[in-house]
């Protein structure tokens, strides 16, 4: 399939494609049936250095920017694989890199880069707070050299497969804080020590294999030296991580969309009905072409957002817009691909239905389309807030 623009980071993309070729659809289908974690795939990505592209060279990484990381995740998804098992490592470690002490960076980043430690869990969302992060209630109370954590988190992916977790909690009650976003702090939790000693993990079974869990904190003690940055400034610290998350997931959606367009185009050329390929019918051609147009436009927005991030701009609006456009483009492409395949689109062997389920997530997580529209309305258009 021809591309409208020259491919960025072609060497990285080709290397990712070669790696992903060793993990075909059958590998992912088996994991999906068993709800198993792709340890072999994550190990291969780690050993190839793809999960440490954002870590500076002095800490054992490649020292590249978010645009390069987007290229990695896009190609993973275009190849039919799924980066959801490990993509959090790219954006959660940014909190440590940007706001952690030099001691914390020296202690953790080289081990994350080498694969000795996995930093893949991001503990933010709570059952009663949802996407209103200012209303989280998980509380960390200082007690001597420790913080004692109590509370609950939900929709925390990869907690069972991560050595470390970036945890956002309150250290000052919301009603006592200067403003709703104040009084929150970030702790780096060692999951190896926490589980069974104040932290309980409960898997949440969903329609896709995403290693999703619910976390319960019951007097979990976390060393005070694991505080990232200053106490009470945690909300600010995770904002850049959230923007990176949205841009990286947008890149995954672009990869998903390309997967669906590639599969639909190939099937439309090969599948013959009434003596001719179904792709000769405009009723089949036009939805594929529309998916390509929409995805190409969304990809330009993702590139813009990634470059702004790499240049040091917060770019919250651009990050949100890229995620919305990419997720909607990938979902349209997914629906088109199913329709092109007809009944075969629901057959496991074609490996379309698995990706169909996976890409649907991204209009809901990590932020819903309606909340993105609310952000754009109030931040870009200066419209009054509705709450």
For the question of residue 245 being annotated catalytic, the response is yes
Q: What are the start-end ranges of the E strands in the chain? A: 119-123, 139-143, 146-157, 164-170, 184-190, 199-203, 212-223, 227-228, 272-273, 276-277
Instruction: With beta carbons less than 8 A apart as the criterion, state whether 247 and 309 touch.
Output: yes
- Secondary structure letter of residue 6 according to DSSP: P
Phi/psi of residue 277, nearest 5 degrees: -60, 140
Distances in Å between the alpha carbon of 384 and those of 8, 130, 375, 378, 387? 39, 22, 11, 6, 9
Joined tokens for residue 279: 């792709």
Instruction: With beta carbons less than 8 A apart as the criterion, state whether 250 and 323 touch.
Output: yes
CB atoms within 10 A of CB 373: 13
Which of 126, 231, 245, 353 is catalytic? The answer is 245
Hey, which residues does 155 pair with through a beta bridge?
A: none
In three-state secondary structure terms, 132 is coil
Active site residues: 245
């Amino acid at each position: 399939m021809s591309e409208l623009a020259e491919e960025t980071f072609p060497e990285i993309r080709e290397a990712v494609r070669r790696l992903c070729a060793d993990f075909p659809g059958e590998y992912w289908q088996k994991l999906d049936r068993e709800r198993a974690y792709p340890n072999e795939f994550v190990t291969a990505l780690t050993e190839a250095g793809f999960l440490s592209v954002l870590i500076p060279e002095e800490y054992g990484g490649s020292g590249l920017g978010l645009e390069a990381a987007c290229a990695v995740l896009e190609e993973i998804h275009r190849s039919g694989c799924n980066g959801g098992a490990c993509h959090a490592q790219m954006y959660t470690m940014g909190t440590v890199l940007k706001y952690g002490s030099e001691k914390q960076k020296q202690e953790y980043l080289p081990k994350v880069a080498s694969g000795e430690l996995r930093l893949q869990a991001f503990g933010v969302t709570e059952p009663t707070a949802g996407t209103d992060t200012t209303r989280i209630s998980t509380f960390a109370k200082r007690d001597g050299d420790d913080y004692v954590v109590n509370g609950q988190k939900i929709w925390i992916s990869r907690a069972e497969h991560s050595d470390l977790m970036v945890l956002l909690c309150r250290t000052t009650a919301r009603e006592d804080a200067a403003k709703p976003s104040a009084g929150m702090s970030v702790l780096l939790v060692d999951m190896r020590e926490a589980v069974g000693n104040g932290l309980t993990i409960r898997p949440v079974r969903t329609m896709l294999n995403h290693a999703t869990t619910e976390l319960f904190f019951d007097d979990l003690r976390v060393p005070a030296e694991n505080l990232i940055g200053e106490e009470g400034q945690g909300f600010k610290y995770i904002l850049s991580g959230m923007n990176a998350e949205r841009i990286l997931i947008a890149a995954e959606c672009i990869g998903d969309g390309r997967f669906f367009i590639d599969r639909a185009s190939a099937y439309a050329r090969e599948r013959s009905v009434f003596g001719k390929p179904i792709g000769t019918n405009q009723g089949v051609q036009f939805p594929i072409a529309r998916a390509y147009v929409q995805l190409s436009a969304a990809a330009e927005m993702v590139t813009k957002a990634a470059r702004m991030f790499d240049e040091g701009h917060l770019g919250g609006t651009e990050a949100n817009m890229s995620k919305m456009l990419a997720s909607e483009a990938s979902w349209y492409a997914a629906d088109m691909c199913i329709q092109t395949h007809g009944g075969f689109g629901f057959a496991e062997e074609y490996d379309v239905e698995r990706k169909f389920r996976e890409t649907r997530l991204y209009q809901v997580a990590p932020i819903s389309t309606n909340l993105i529209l609310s952000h754009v309305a109030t931040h870009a258009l200066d419209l009054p807030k509705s709450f």
